[in-house]
Structure 1
Amino acid sequence: MLKAMKSGVFREIADAEKKRNKYVKSFELYSMLDSLVRRGEHVIVTGDQYGTTLISRDFSRKGRCDFYLSREGYMPAMSCMIGQKDSPLVPIMTKRIALINQAGLYEHWIKAYMPNSTSCTHPPTRIAVNTSFSVHNVWGMYVVLFGGHAISLLVLGLELVSVTLHQRMTS
């Protein structure tokens, strides 16, 4: 789909294939979770249903949420039924499929098929970090603190020099 686009964001993504994107077959994605994504160097862009399947399988295996789906989607998930042109079955089946979706049966079947499908759907709104404080963990705060002190001392010195020069010039 990305390669078929003529312009826009999806075309730019397709053009980045030579530099940054790596297209893999769907059966290779689960092995990519451990080899690339878990290290934090890559992300997987796939359909919502397949992403949910990958994450729920990993949660079932590991017992913890190492991955989350993004809150935003990049294109609608498409499912369809193909029927012969002008077939009287197509409108009937379309109505039945719409009723199944509206009743929530599709989501119910997904949850029954993948029991952990909603365990790691989206990241929590607050993430607690349970690490002890050390200089390595908070070095940025020290840089800001001591950098601010250095700059304030420099400004104070410049003010004293400018006041002294101003007093000598006026007297």
Structure 2
Amino acid sequence: ADRLANLIDNLLEASQLQAGGLQLNHSTIDIVTLTNKLTKKFKTQTEKHTFNVSFADNFPKPIADEERILQALSNLISNAIKYSPNGGPITVSGKYTNREIIISVKDSGIGVEAGDLNKIFDRFHRVADTETSHTQGAGLGLYLTRAIIEAHHGRIWVDSDPGLGSTFHIAIPIEE
């Protein structure tokens, strides 16, 4: 029932995004504290994975929608767990320039084939792989994550080595 409710929520959000109706509630957010809380929550959901959090000193506090950024990071960490079926480390790190913060979520999972890299942010896209055929999901997580980041005038991209893992990066401006 929870999975169905979550799917319906995601479908509604996807519809809102298509209609340009994503509302953001901007405030100054502490990404480091947010990430630490999030990884602590995910630690209780997996025994196979370890979590490392590494942020640059004096990490800036951007003006953003905390709930939406939390949702985006949750999607990336959840995917890192799902697509690392054998476990291993998941690293969430952050660095910054004078214009933007960059948060990266790295796993040691199955990776993404080159042919899928330009499609994984599409709505309902799922990577076809025998290792992940049992993995639950509707193919909306990365689509919603991209929409959230783009609504913040940011960008999202992935570096991936099939068989070795993926690193998803999100960059958002420090100031709106």
Could you say which structure has the larger radius of gyration? 1
TM-score range, shorter chain: under 0.3
RCO greater where, 1 or 2, for CA within 8 Å and sep 6 or more?
A: 2
Query: Higher strand fraction: Structure 1 or Structure 2?
Result: 2
